[in-house]
Chains A and B, each alone.
Chain A
Amino acid sequence: MSHYTLDARNSLCPMPVIKTQNKIAELQPGDLLEVVCTDPGALNDIPAWCRINGHRVKETSEKGDEVAIVIEINAG
C-alpha cells in the first residue's frame, strides 16, 4: 500500500474530478490518494465520483481555503 498526494488546487470542477480519475487509473487497489483542492465543489463531486466508481472516501477535511479528500483505491 502506498500513499500518494494529488495537487488539484486552483482548478475548478470538474477538473479536480478528472485529475483524480486519471491519477487513480495509475494506482493499485489498497493505495491511498490524498487530493488537495481549492474548489469547495470538490467535496461533493469527488466523493460522488468515488461512490459510483467503487472507491472509498476515508476522510475529508477543510483548512482555510483548501479541502482535502483521502481516497482508498478499490478494484473499481
Chain B
Amino acid sequence: MSQQRKAVALISGGLDSLLAAKLLLDQGIHVEGINFYTGFCVEGHTHAIRKKDKAKPKRNNALWSAEQLGIKLHIIDIIEEYKDVLINPKHGYGANMNPCLDCKIFMVSKAKQWMEENGFDFIITGEVMGQRPMSQRKDLLPVVVRESGADDRLLRPLCAKNLAATLPEREGWVDREKLKDFSGRNRKPQMALAAEFGFEDYATPAGGCCFLTDKNYSDKLVDLWQARNKKEYELDDIMLLKVGRHLRPAPHYKLIVSREEGENKFLKGYKKQFSSIELTSHNGPLTLVDGKLSDEDFKMASRIAARFSQGRDADMVTVKITGPEGNEKTIEVPPMPASEIKQEWYI
C-alpha cells in the first residue's frame, strides 16, 4: 500500500484556496490548512468593532473553509515577523501599501518551515496565473517558488497545467490530469468548480483580504510613519487605523473620533494609552488624542470633537479631558463650525 502523502494548504478564507485544497483532498491527499495572521487581515475586525455591522453574521472565513473541507486549520500569529516584510519589501509595494509579492514569498517560506517541522510533503496554494497584478503574474510565480525556498514542493492546483510539473506530480503523488489550467482574472471557472463541489456562501471579499490594499487605510499608515519619522508600528497602532475618523489638525497630534457606539466602546479600551476627550454636556463621540498637546491644542481638539457631537449647534459645550494616568480636567469650548474644519485635516 502506498504511503498517504501530506500537503499543507495556505487557506486565506477565499474561494481559490478552498478549491485548491478540495482538489487535493479528492485525490486522497491528507491536507491540513495553515492561515497566517499579519494584523492586517480584514477577517471580522470591523464587524466586531462597529455596532452597525452587528446584523451581519460574524465568521472567520478561513475557519469556515476548513470546516467545509473537513480539515484541521492552524492559525499562526506572524505579526512581529511580518513587520519587516511590510517595512522593507524587496519587491516594493502595489497600488497602495500592499507588499503582495514579498508577502506571498514570506507566507510560502513560513509554510515550508511548517511543512518540514510537521513531516508534510508539499505545499499547496490557491494561486491562479495572471489573476492578480502583483503576486500572481506569470513571470512572478517562479519568483515565489525560488525565493521562498519551496522549489518544486509548491503546487498550485488551480493553474498547475499551465506550469512545469512539480515534485508531487512527477512522483505520482498527485494526478496532474485532475488539476486545472485556470488563468487570468475571469472568476467563472472557479465559480463553476465551486458549484460542482457544492460550495455555497463562500467569501467574496471586495478588495481582497488585506487592509493594505485599501487606499484609505494605506494613507493612514503612511501618515502614522510620517508623524513618527520612522517606519514602525505595534499591533495597537494598526488596529486603531481601522477605527473612527482620523484628523490631523497639526503635525504634532492626531485625533481619532469614534463614529458610533461600537467604536466608542472599542476606543474606551485605549484610554490608558492616550489622552481622551468626552463631552459631558451633550451626547457625543469619544475622541482619542495621539501626540503631545499644549492647553491651546487641547482647546482646539475639544472644539473639533464637539463638532461631531449633538452639541454641535450649541454656543458652548463642556468637555472632560482625561490623561492616560486618569487625571481629569473640564473645560468649556464653543464647537468648531463645519466651515472651519479643513478638508486636509482628514487622513
Contact = CB atoms under 8 A, between A and B. Distances in A.
Contact of B47 (A10, A41, A52): A41
A26 to B, nearest CB: 15
B268 to A, nearest CB: 10
Interface in B58-88: 58-60, 62-64, 66-67, 70-77
Contact of A52 (B41, B59, B71, B239): B71
Q: Tell me the dominant secondary structure on chain B's binding face.
A: mixed
Contact of A45 (B41, B49, B59, B72): B59
A51 B67 contact: yes
Given A48-B60, A65-B265, A13 B67 contact: no
A48 B47 contact: no
Kindly state the interface size class of chain B when it binds its partner. Answer: 20 to 34
Contacts of A13: 43-45, 48, 58, 60
A53 B73 contact: yes
A40 B269 CA distance: 15
Contact of A14 (B44, B57, B239): B44
Contacts of B44: 12-14, 41, 45
A12 B66 CA distance: 20
B73 A14 contact: no
B66 A52 contact: yes
A52 B74 contact: no
B66 A41 contact: no
Residue picked from B66, B73, B75, most chain A C-beta under 10 Å: B75
A10 B34 CA distance: 25
A39 to B, nearest CB: 5
Given A44-B58, A44-B60, A10 B269 contact: yes
A75 B72 CA distance: 13
B95 to A, nearest CB: 26
Interface string A1-38: 00000000010111101100100000000000000000
Interface of B: 35, 37, 41, 43-45, 47-49, 57-60, 62-64, 66-67, 70-77, 239, 265, 269
Nearest to B33: A52
Contacts of A39: 48
Nearest to B269: A10
B58 A52 contact: no
A21 B48 contact: no
A15 B63 CA distance: 13
B75 A18 contact: yes
Given A12-B239, A41-B47, A52-B67, A17 B60 contact: yes
Contacts of B73: 49, 52-53
A49 B34 CA distance: 12
A35 to B, nearest CB: 14
Nearest to B54: A40
Nearest to B43: A14
Contacts of B72: 52-53
Nearest to A21: B75
Contact of A41 (B35, B48, B71): B48
Nearest to A19: B77
Contact of A17 (B63, B71, B265): B63
Contact of B63 (A10, A12, A40, A45): A45
